[in-house]
């Protein structure tokens, strides 16, 4: 069985987001932005998992596109948390690099799948 890199990375990202949420709530007493990040950051992997069992190629693309939007939203919340001093530069960089890797993978998957449908 082949490794599913985007599945692994999105799950790992979700774990980091959950741990970050726990830290932000308990240590920084930040509840609103961290909750938004928790929702979008864990949704990415859930949509990737849904896409695994898509009914059609178009359904697959649709689910991956939602995952793409969710990871993009997660990047927004990470940037906002950094700029409002809830995240250090180092904490931000670690999660941001992970998120950018995931968005690149998802974008490539969507592009390839669309090209394969046309052929």
Distance (Å, whole) CA 60 – CA 38: 24
Closest to 106 (Cα-Cα) out of 55, 70, 82, 79? 70
What is the per-residue pLDDT for 2? 87
What is the per-residue pLDDT for 22? 98
* pLDDT, tens digit, 9 for 90 and up, residues 69-79: 999 999 999 99
> pTM, whole model, 2 decimals?
0.95
Query: What secondary structure letter does DSSP report for 49?
Result: H
* pLDDT, tens digit, 9 for 90 and up, residues 33-57: 999 999 999 999 999 999 999 999 9
């Amino acid at each position: 069985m082949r490794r599913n890199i985007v599945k692994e990375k999105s799950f790992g990202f979700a774990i980091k987001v959950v741990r970050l949420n726990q830290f932000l709530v308990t240590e920084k007493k930040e509840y609103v932005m961290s909750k938004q990040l928790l929702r979008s950051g864990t949704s990415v992997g859930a949509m990737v998992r849904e896409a695994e069992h898509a009914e059609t190629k178009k359904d697959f693309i649709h689910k991956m596109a939602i995952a793409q939007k969710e990871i993009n939203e997660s990047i927004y919340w990470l940037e906002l948390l950094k700029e409002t001093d809830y995240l250090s530069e180092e904490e931000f960089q670690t999660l941001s690099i992970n998120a950018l890797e995931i968005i690149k993978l998802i974008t490539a998957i969507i592009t390839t799948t669309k090209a394969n449908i046309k052929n």
